Amino acid sequence: MLIRSIKYAIERKKLETERIKSEERFKLLSDASFEGVVISRNGIVLDVNKHFSNILGAEREDVIGKKITEFVAPEHKDLVSDNLIKNREEPYEHIAQKKDGTYFPVEIHGRTLPNNGLRLTAIRDMTRYKDAEKTI
């Protein structure tokens, strides 16, 4: 009985260590990304990478715990909410809102992870692309 308890405790510790290492790898990878990355559940932001914070001009702590739609222009909130509810995976564009209130175009590409219900979303600031289109 004691040996089984010890084996169980060792296995739990291994799994916890692996989980922590996995989270650290994910954080390194997402912070190295050229796109903003958001992890959410039911439309609530759970975590973001540095690039997402930079895009919004906000600190990570200002974003976590907020509804994703708080960073969306009013006329696009319904679109974004519908796409979250439908677990849309195809890329789409909308207008986002920075912390200072300015609006800017973004491309969104999200995916809901099947095993835990988390939504992983990549956000690309399209300002440069849209400005280039105007000059052509």
CB atoms within 10 A of CB 27: 14
Mean pLDDT of 55-82: 96
**Confidence at 16, pLDDT banded by 50, 70, 90:** confident
pLDDT of residue 30: 62
Lowest mean pLDDT among 70-74, 86-90, 110-114, 128-132: 128-132
Residue 84, pLDDT above cutoff 80: yes
Beta strands in 28-133 (DSSP E): 36-41, 44-48, 92-97, 103-112, 119-125
Residue 55, pLDDT above cutoff 90: yes
Residue 41, pLDDT above cutoff 90: yes
Q: Residue 108 pairs with which residues in a beta bridge? A: 92, 123
CATH number for the domain formed by residue range(s) 34-135: 3.30.450.20
